[in-house]
Amino acid sequence: MPFKILNFIDNLNDHTGKGLEERLMQNRVPYETLSTNNQTARWIGSLMDDLCVEIGNENAKSVMEACGQRCIGQSVLQKAFKLKQVSLDLDDLLGKLNQEHIGGGTLWREENMIHASYELCYCGSVSKTRKPISNIYCQCSCGWYKRLFETLLDKPVKVELLDSIIHGADNCQFIIHI
């Protein structure tokens, strides 16, 4: 999925008010005018760095997590919920999600944690670059997993990013605390 600038701006305004959007976008070329993968990745990396300077890492994580919660499509949630309805238990559900490649295809449970990983970055806006950018950006994936599993389990979950490809790792790794 590519970076959705309008979702980002909406979430930024929801978390901080409109003044920050103007400051962050003030000296940037419009996102829509970027034409290469490297331009896009550099633009997003710079935006994440500036976001963290302006509002701190924890608030920046919240903004990006909210982006991921908006990014997961209703059709994915409906498909996952249908799989839940025909699953025997959580482990069976994770197997079915893996078969349908929902959540990266490598979900597995260990006690009260679901491990998730994937070997390629699914974000088309940054996946083609080899220059590491802030893993704050990957909090979007945390939000995606959060919405998926809160919908399926009907309870709050916490998602932790362990490592990411765009930060230089071989794969993206997450733990969903259930």
Domain 5-177 in this protein, CATH class = alpha beta
CA 173 to chain CA mean position, Å:
12
pLDDT value at position 100?
A: 97
Average pLDDT for 46-68: 95
Helix orientation angle between 139-153 and 74-85, rounded to the nearest 10 degrees: 40
Quick check: 126 pLDDT over 80?
no
Quick check: 148 pLDDT over 60?
yes
Quick check: 128 pLDDT over 80?
no
Q: What is the pTM of this model?
A: 0.92
Q: Where are the domains of the chain?
A: 5-177
- Please tell me the distance from the alpha carbon of residue 67 to that of residue 10, in angstroms, as a whole number: 9
Quick check: 1 pLDDT over 70?
no
Please provide the average confidence, as pLDDT, over all residues in the chain.
92
pLDDT value at position 95?
A: 98
Lay out the sheet containing 158-163: strands in order across: 108-110, 113-118, 172-177, 158-163
Average pLDDT for 115-141: 84
Range with the poorest average pLDDT among 53-67, 86-100, 164-178: 164-178
Average pLDDT for 59-81: 95
Quick check: 156 pLDDT over 80?
yes
Average pLDDT for 8-18: 88
Split at pLDDT 50, 70, 90, the class of 44 is very high
- Please tell me the distance from the alpha carbon of residue 107 to that of residue 4, in angstroms, as a whole number: 26
More confident residue, 134 or 141: 141
